[in-house]
Amino acid sequence: MCGVVGIVGKSDVNLQIYDALTMLQHRGQDAAGIMTCQDGRLAQHKANGLVSDVFRTRHMQRLVGNYGIGHVRYPTAGSSGPAQAQPFYVNSPYGIALAHNGNLTNTEEVERELLQTDLRHMNTDSDSELLLNVFAHELLKQNKAKPQPEDFFNAIRAMHKRVRGGYACVAMIANYGIIAFRDAHGIRPLVYGSRETENGTEYMIASESVALDVSGYTIERDVAPGEAIFISTEGELHSAICAEEVSLSPCIFEHVYFARPDSIIDGVSVYKSRLRQGERLAEKILRERPEHDIDVVIPIPDSSRVAGQALAHNLNVKFREGLVKNRYIGRTFIMPGQQQRKKSVRQKLNAIELEFKGKNVMLVDDSIVRGTTCQQIIQMARDAGANKVYFASAAPAVKFPNVYGIDMPSASELIASGQSDEEVCKEIGADWLLYQDLDDLVAASQDGNPDIAQFDCSVFTGEYITGDVDEQYFAKLEAARNDSAKAKKAVSSDDTAVIGLHNGAVE
């Protein structure tokens, strides 16, 4: 789940892009990059690490120009090495850079066409590099010395026909401007806003509205499914629906875990949908165990705090922050290997004993994926002297791989895959495990915007919104991206793999 941002401003945009990426850091901790353009010359800096580690003053000084794009990466394809940090760049036509959130599902076919028919070179295993090259090839085919917005839209139209999967992107075209586009189902979020300056209107497009908030942009609206928005270097905005069959079916997991609660996605406040998740979970508890003996509700920070508060309130039970989060440890679920994830949970969370001792505790988390967090926290609660340890998940059981930009590639790594709720309860060591019902989870988000007819809930149901993901793809994904395969790739993708020409993080 990466974060993307693009800005067309009236003066240098580097600092605004940096600030926006900082606001999107929760979407990707592996790598960060910024590319800007001034007088047709592109400047870039990208590397592995957090935004605050990747960019030094000397980099920022060189990132000049009134338009640019940025990316924070959480890999779902290829490796996590520096050569796959984004934005990606191709020099023809015009000079294009792209930042992508999502994941393509027909990569084999796209790669074959690009190599054999379009005669283009791929330097990495990244699906984002493929996407950029498809767009570039289709734009080249428009064959315009001075392309107009319609030419960019035509290239996007042709691109939609060739690629499958989830993608919300910003692309910068040197000398022309920035084009943003979202797949036909609007699986991954993308929103744009504007702000007025003395010199005219500035535009920002980003994965989440929090990126707009920090620099004082006002939300205009979400980019619609299949829509492309082009903003010229002069700040003129054009838009067109470029995909044929469009339907808004956003990823429900944004509301469960990925997005920040202060973001508004497709008109839905993530904060409010998490409050409603907690309310509905409370209703289920009261239905199933009206005579429950829960003394206290304790959330597992960070993401379950909001749902936890509503849960406790609606149960009429005390809410206590019995687990303290170390603010210097990032999100554990999006870390690349199980060993690192496991170690980080213990470093990240510590129990306040007095909130557990002798009590019947209900721990609440937004979701249980691999079970790394809950297993350790339940043990921690027992060590702290809890009497009973109950566990509630604000999302249903995660049983199926994600193919649209969340790195859950392998069903065998998911604790609930092929196991009943009772078996999961036993494995995590809880006295009672309660999952949210899917209808309730969907309603919690849908209540915020009834116009959203459906969500992509594939990790819970195994039904993929694009309807075209074949068994072969799952098998390939599982083989390429299970934890041990990723560990091997990490070892082999050191700096020597970096090509300084355009994909490198060279100094």
Contact set with Mg ion (CB under 5 A): 303
Nearer to ligand GLN (CB atom), residue 409 or residue 448: 409
Does residue 302 touch ligand PRP according to CB under 6 A?
yes
Does residue 102 touch ligand GLN according to CB under 6 A?
yes
Contacting residue, 34, 54, 72, 77, with ligand GLN by CB under 6 A: 77
The footprint of ligand GLN on this chain (CB under 6 A) covers a number of residues equal to 16
Contacting residue, 29, 36, 48, 76, with ligand GLN by CB under 6 A: 76
Does residue 189 touch ligand GLN according to CB under 6 A?
no
Residue 85 near residue 72 (C-beta atoms within 8 A):
no
- The answer to whether 39 is annotated as binding is no
Nearer to ligand PRP (CB atom), residue 257 or residue 473: 257
Q: Which two tokens stand for residue 172?
A: 């910068």
Strands 318-319 vs 296-299: parallel, antiparallel or unpaired = parallel
Q: Which amino acid is at 230?
A: F
CA atoms within 13 A on the CB side of 364: 32
CA angle centred on 339, ends 260 and 128, rounded to 5°: 55
Interaction pattern, residues 237-266, with ligand PRP; x per rule: CB under 6 A: --------------------x---------
Does residue 100 touch ligand GLN according to CB under 6 A?
yes
CB of 193 to ligand GLN, least distance (A): 21
Residue 179 near residue 173 (C-beta atoms within 8 A):
yes
List the one residue out of 283, 277, 331, 333 whose CA is nearest residue 309: 277
CB of 9 to ligand PRP, least distance (A): 31
Catalytic residue of the set 2, 37, 251, 374: 2
Does residue 105 touch ligand GLN according to CB under 6 A?
no
Three-state SS for 258?
A: helix
Question: Starting from the edge strand earliest in sequence, which strands make up the sheet with 88-90, in order?
Answer: 88-90, 96-104, 165-173, 177-182, 227-232, 237-241
CB of 331 to ligand GLN, least distance (A): 13
Does residue 371 touch ligand PRP according to CB under 6 A?
yes
Contacting residue, 29, 133, 373, 503, with ligand PRP by CB under 6 A: 373
Nearer to Mg ion (CB atom), residue 59 or residue 331: 331
From 89-97, 121-129, 258-266, 295-303, span contacting ligand GLN (CB under 6 A): 121-129
Identify the residue whose tokens are 């213990």.
346
- The answer to whether 451 is annotated as binding is no
Does residue 331 touch ligand PRP according to CB under 6 A?
yes
How far is the C-alpha of 222 from the C-alpha of 191, rounded, in Å? 4
Interacting partner of 248 out of ligand GLN, ligand PRP, Mg ion, none (Cβ under 5 to 8 A depending on kind): none
- The answer to whether 420 is annotated as binding is no
Q: Which two tokens stand for residue 290?
A: 């009206």
Contacting residue, 22, 44, 48, 103, with ligand GLN by CB under 6 A: 103
Interaction pattern, residues 333-352, with ligand PRP; x per rule: CB under 6 A: xx------------------
CA quadruple 202, 207, 213, 215: dihedral sign:
negative
How far is the C-alpha of 322 from the C-alpha of 125, rounded, in Å? 43
How far is the C-alpha of 95 from the C-alpha of 246, rounded, in Å? 29
Interacting partner of 405 out of ligand GLN, Mg ion, ligand PRP, none (Cβ under 5 to 8 A depending on kind): ligand GLN
Q: Which letter does DSSP use for residue 255 in this model?
A: I
Three-state SS for 5?
A: strand
How far is the C-alpha of 331 from the C-alpha of 200, rounded, in Å? 39
CB of 445 to ligand GLN, least distance (A): 20
Does residue 107 touch ligand GLN according to CB under 6 A?
no
Burial (0-12, 13-18, 19+ Cβ within 10 Å), 68: buried
2 assigned to active site: yes
* Cβ-proximal residues to 270 (8 Å cutoff; 6+ apart), any chain: 254, 255, 259, 260, 261, 262, 263, 264
Phi-psi category of residue 462: left, alpha or beta, with phi > 0 → left and psi -120 to 50 → alpha: left
From 33-41, 301-309, 453-461, 463-471, span contacting ligand PRP (CB under 6 A): 301-309
Helices 127-142 and 107-116 meet at what angle, rounded to 10?
50
Q: What phi and psi, each to the nearest 5 degrees, are found at residue 305?
A: -60, -45
Interacting partner of 135 out of Mg ion, ligand GLN, ligand PRP, none (Cβ under 5 to 8 A depending on kind): none
Q: Which helix (H) or strand (E) holds 219?
A: strand 218-222
Interacting partner of 3 out of ligand GLN, ligand PRP, Mg ion, none (Cβ under 5 to 8 A depending on kind): none
From 39-47, 371-379, 380-388, 476-484, span contacting ligand PRP (CB under 6 A): 371-379
Q: Would you name the residues annotated as active-site residues?
A: 2
Annotated binding site: 303, 365-366
Question: What are the residues binding ligand GLN (CB under 6 A)?
Answer: 1-2, 73-78, 100-103, 126-128, 405
Annotated binding site for Mg(2+): 303, 365-366
Question: What are the residues binding ligand PRP (CB under 6 A)?
Answer: 257, 300-303, 331-334, 365-374
